[in-house]
């Protein structure tokens, strides 16, 4: 599944990868409310069609996906564009190799708290 929304005059673009379709919709709506242009996909395997033709300021990898595929995707993204910020949302702590780790890991069982931490990160960009 892929959703894309363009917002007039939005200067920041985010790629959201989330395996749970309803959570993907909610995350995209929340980010759009903050003024971000969003592209949402449900699997990292869909991302090569999006990358690098669309350059994103932020990549958010959700908690309902394959963590190994997510880490491989992080490595490929950083190879294409080392400046992009990658945030991974996890419900459980995850031991990550430093060679392909995301820039930020937000670990929280509470979706609202994780969303607030993600919003704080986005405001800093």
Of 84, 102, 85, 91, nearest to 65 by C-alpha is 91
Which fold, 10-124? Answer: Rossmann fold (3.40.50)
pLDDT interval class at 95 (50, 70, 90): low
CA 79/CA 109 separation, integer angstroms? 30
Q: Tokens in use for 116? A: 């607030």
Q: How many CB atoms lie within 10 A of CB 61?
A: 26
Q: How many CB atoms lie within 10 A of CB 92?
A: 8
Mean pLDDT in residue range 59-75: 79
pLDDT interval class at 99 (50, 70, 90): low
Mean pLDDT in residue range 54-63: 81
Cβ neighbours for 101, distance < 8 A, ≥ 6 positions apart:
71, 74
On whether the CB atoms of residues 24 and 70 are closer than 8 A, the answer is no
The model's pTM: 0.75
CA 4/CA 124 separation, integer angstroms? 23
Check residue 50 and give its pLDDT.
58
Q: Tokens in use for 19? A: 């395996």
Dump pLDDT digits (tens) for 7-27.
443 478 899 988 889 989 988
Higher pLDDT: 13 or 71? It is: 13
């Amino acid at each position: 599944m892929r959703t894309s929304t363009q917002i007039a005059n939005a200067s920041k673009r985010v790629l959201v990868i989330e395996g749970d379709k309803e959570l993907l919709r909610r995350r995209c709506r929340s980010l759009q409310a903050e003024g971000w242009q969003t592209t949402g996909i449900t699997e990292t395997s869909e991302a090569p069609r999006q990358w690098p033709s669309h350059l994103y300021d932020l990549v958010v990898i959700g908690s309902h996906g394959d963590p190994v595929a997510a880490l491989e995707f992080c490595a490929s993204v950083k190879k294409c564009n080392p400046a992009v910020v990658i945030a991974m949302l996890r419900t459980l702590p995850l031991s990550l190799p430093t060679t392909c780790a995301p820039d930020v890991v937000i670990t929280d069982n509470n979706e609202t708290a994780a969303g607030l931490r993600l919003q704080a990160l986005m405001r800093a960009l």
